[in-house]
Structure 1
Amino acid sequence: MCGAVLLCALTLRLMLGTAGQHSSDMCNWKGSGLTHEAHKKDVEQVYLRCSSGSVRWMYPTGALIVNLRPNTQALASKHTTVCIKLSTDSRGANIYLEKTGELNLLVRDGESGPNKVHCFSSEKGALFIEAMPQLDISRKITSFQYELLDQRMAADLHTLSAPCRPCGDTEVLLAVCTSDFVVRGSIREVTNDVEEQKSIIDVAVNRLYRQKTKIFTVLGTNESWEGQIRTPLECGVKPGQGEFLFTGRVHFGEPRLGCAPRYNDFLRIYKEAKEKGLNPCEIGTD
């Protein structure tokens, strides 16, 4: 085990691949710290080249450096945004951002929780995961999912960084153009999941403008569209009368609510922007 994280940071670049990756998957990595037991100063390099995936480090000892390098041209910019979501039971390591030997703490051991997502610019460096000293590592597993977002997607991180804040007019217009899903509909029911700290919104869809994955589907014999959207419990979403324009993104496999103005408010914003020639995209309002 490194005596101090600073010492680890200064020496890690000289210790490339000391133990070798435990899996050949370029999107996901799974390994065990037990291979480090005889060499507790090992720092293992991990290279992942997908836009999304996961890391699962069982019995963490020593340290990992996780390099997230997308293999698509759209994500090749050094300004790519990276988001990680720790598993609720992730334990046993601190996670830092490491660049040129300097470490900045991102997640302290034990800070994982429901819906806890950490986002940062990829230009800030790689993930340096340092195992904490443990008398018994048998029940420790450090695990998280990751996603890499291009600049267009990262511009809508309102969904993750400030999900309870009402959207401004410009944000609403951009959300309509760039979101993973855009639907006009009403709230049928809101179910609160206290354990996961999220609210599940059942939406009855009156018009489906766009969806990248099958969030909304046709149910029953009346061919009506329905689906569910998630948002943090702290936002206090309640069933409301009238129509809304629901937008959002799919993060870590879940549809997250973004901007959701009342439809009449959206029409006003949209028509005013259209009259001034400021609409970023067109959408049917019939």
Structure 2
Amino acid sequence: MKKSRRLLALLLLSTVLSSRGMWCMAGDVCSWKGSGLSWDARSRAVEQVHLRCTEGSLEWMYPVRALRVIIEPNLVNSKHTTVCIKPHSQFQGAHLYVEKRELHLLVSEIDGVKKVHCFGMDSSQRVALFLQASPYKNLSRRTAGFQYELLNNRTSGPVFQKFALVNDACRPCDNEDLLMAVCTSDFVVRGSILRVTHDMETQISQVDINALKVHRQTNSIFQPDDQTRTWTGPIRTLLQCRVKKGDGDFLFTGSEHFGDAWLGCAPRYKDFLEIYQKAKKLRSNPCDFQI
């Protein structure tokens, strides 16, 4: 009952302020950082922020009243159809809602595990979020923040399958998938598995890699180890995929999201070589790969 009243109050607030033209434009950027302490205490306006990139972040310190966030990528013919929100681990001071005809609660400050939330964009290629500050009598430091990332239906790896609630997240890759993965993945790494650990709470497995060669990576997830003269780094996947430690060299591919590497196709390296060389003879390889 209390939750329903709260949602109704937020809807009324949103409607009233919008109809009176009391939105305050605060930014038009990829990422935004602001403080409630800089707001006029006498104003009833709801500050509004526009985020127009395919990824970025928001950090709202000392939350006061409410903040409306519009994620609307400034892209021509954008094929991005899904927005994913990852709250900061120390999300405090506000509740986060997504506007879908009515307000749906995504994150409250009392949540323990901060999960990633994904939802489709509307016909106007935008998503509206609403941050309502929690009532506190003191001004102790609190920050409500999150990262956002736009995905499309072609995004590789189980991370998209998981977020978009697609059932075949752990589907094995066929030969065509393997050849395409080395062309389009955010990372392509040859190496062996050091260890695999499982987290029951987050339902995520982590595969620690000892890499002989990093063919490609978008961010610096895999770092050189001066002692072993190899590269090391973690790759995540879903617990339901039941990944186990295997011997030998693999070719790890996948996508990077929110600073983490997510496993896509991972054939044994010798098997990949056989598939690639056969495709190259038939001139059916989608791209050239340095082996």
TM-score range, shorter chain: 0.7 to 0.9
Aligned to 1:212: 218
Aligned to 1:30: 33
- Where structure 2 has 5 or more consecutive residues not aligned to the other structure, the ranges are 1-5, 164-168
Aligned to 2:159: 159
CA distance in 2, matches of 1:172, 1:115: 33
1:162-218 deviation digits (Å, cap 9, x = unpaired): 396243325444322211111222112345678887554332223433223333344
RMSD: 3.9
CA distance in 1, matches of 2:221, 2:272: 22
- The question of 1:70 aligning with 2:73 is answered yes
Query: SS where residue 29 of structure 2 aligns?
Result: coil
CA distance in 2, matches of 1:137, 1:2: 25
Aligned to 1:109: 108
Query: SS where residue 239 of structure 2 aligns?
Result: helix
For 1:118, give the aligned amino acid: H
| Residue pair 2:237, 2:263 contacting (<8 A) in 1 also | no
TM-score, normalised relative to structure 2: 0.72
With over 3 angstroms needed to count, the CA separation of the structure-2 counterparts of 1:179 and 1:31, relative to structure 1, is: same
- The question of 1:228 aligning with 2:229 is answered no
Aligned to 1:83: 84
1:256-285 deviation digits (Å, cap 9, x = unpaired): 32222333554566567668765433434x
Aligned partner (choices 123, 144, 150) of residue 148 of structure 1: 150
Aligned partner (choices 227, 244, 256) of residue 250 of structure 2: 244
| Residue pair 1:159, 1:248 contacting (<8 A) in 2 also | no
1:207-259 deviation digits (Å, cap 9, x = unpaired): 4332233333443377x431212315735544321222201222222223222
| Residue pair 2:81, 2:120 contacting (<8 A) in 1 also | yes
With over 3 angstroms needed to count, the CA separation of the structure-2 counterparts of 1:5 and 1:19, relative to structure 1, is: same
Aligned to 2:3: none
| Residue pair 2:73, 2:126 contacting (<8 A) in 1 also | no
Query: SS where residue 142 of structure 1 aligns?
Result: strand
Aligned partner (choices 181, 185, 190) of residue 191 of structure 2: 185
Query: SS where residue 175 of structure 1 aligns?
Result: helix
- Where structure 1 has 5 or more consecutive residues not aligned to the other structure, the ranges are none
| Residue pair 1:217, 1:226 contacting (<8 A) in 2 also | yes
How do 1:44-63 residues align onto structure 2 when only pairs under 5 Å count? Answer: 44-63=47-66
Report the CA distance between 1:47 and its aligned residue. 1.5
| Residue pair 2:80, 2:150 contacting (<8 A) in 1 also | no
| Residue pair 1:45, 1:67 contacting (<8 A) in 2 also | yes
| Residue pair 1:95, 1:128 contacting (<8 A) in 2 also | yes
Aligned partner (choices 74, 82, 94) of residue 96 of structure 2: 94
For 2:85, give the aligned amino acid: I
1:140-168 deviation digits (Å, cap 9, x = unpaired): 5321011234x48x532533433962433
Aligned to 2:166: none
Tell which deviates more after alignment, 187-196 or 257-266.
187-196
Aligned to 2:119: 120
With over 3 angstroms needed to count, the CA separation of the structure-2 counterparts of 1:78 and 1:250, relative to structure 1, is: closer
